[in-house]
Amino acid sequence: MHFILEPGFFSNGPVRTALIIGGVTAIVSAVVGVFVVIRSQAFAGHALTDVATTGGSAAFFFGLSPLLGFIGGGVIGAGAMDLIGVQRERGRDVATGIVLGTALGLAALFLYLDTTKSASTGATQQILFGSIFTLDPSTVPLVIGLSAVALAIITSINRPLLMSSLSADLTRARGINLRAIGVLFMIAMAVSVGLSSIAVGSILSTALLIGPAASSVRVARSLRPALVMAAALGVAATWLGILFAYDSFYWVPSSQGLPVSFFIVSLIFLCYLVTGIPFVGRGFRAATSRQRDVSEESA
CA distance 286 to 293: 11
CB of residue 275 to other proteins, shortest distance in Å: 9
Residues across the chain:
299
Alpha carbon 123 to its chain centroid, in Å, reads: 22
Alpha carbon 118 to its chain centroid, in Å, reads: 30
Size of the site for other proteins (CB under 8 A): 62
What is the torsion angle, in degrees rounded to the nearest 10, for the CA atoms of residue 6, residue 10, residue 12 and residue 14? 110
Q: How would you label 7-24 residue by residue, b for 16+ Cβ within 10 Å and e otherwise?
A: eeeeeeeebebbbebbbb
Query: Please, which residue, 102 or 158, has the CB nearer to other proteins?
Result: 102
User: Could you tell me if 221 and 296 are in contact, meaning their C-beta atoms sit under 8 angstroms apart?
Assistant: no
Residue 37 binding other proteins, by CB under 8 A: yes
Query: Please, which residue, 93 or 296, has the CB nearer to other proteins?
Result: 93
CB of residue 289 to other proteins, shortest distance in Å: 14
Residue 17 binding other proteins, by CB under 8 A: no
CB of residue 138 to other proteins, shortest distance in Å: 26
Interacting stretch for other proteins, rule CB under 8 A, among 4-12, 19-27, 102-110, 158-166?
A: 102-110
CB of residue 58 to other proteins, shortest distance in Å: 13
Among 9, 43, 133, 239, contact with other proteins (rule: CB under 8 A): 43
Residue 290 binding other proteins, by CB under 8 A: no
Which residue from 72, 102, 110 is spatially nearest to 195, judged by alpha carbons?
72
User: Hey, which residues between 60 and 99 contact other proteins (CB under 8 A)?
Assistant: 84-85, 88, 90-91, 93-94, 96-98
Amino acid identity of 112?
Y
CA distance 198 to 126: 9
One symbol per residue from 228 to 267: x for binding other proteins (CB under 8 A), - otherwise; what is it?
------------------------x-x-xxxx-xx-xxx-
Which residue from 246, 212, 245 is spatially nearest to 229, judged by alpha carbons?
212
Which residue from 40, 24, 31, 44 is spatially nearest to 213, judged by alpha carbons?
31
CA distance 20 to 116: 35
User: Hey, which residues between 113 and 152 contact other proteins (CB under 8 A)?
Assistant: 115, 121-122, 124-125, 128-129
**Residues of the shown chain interacting with other proteins in the complex, contacts defined by CB under 8 A:** 37, 40-43, 45-47, 84-85, 88, 90-91, 93-94, 96-98, 100-102, 104-106, 108-109, 111-112, 115, 121-122, 124-125, 128-129, 203-204, 206-207, 209-211, 213-214, 218, 252, 254, 256-259, 261-262, 264-266, 268-269, 272, 276, 284, 287
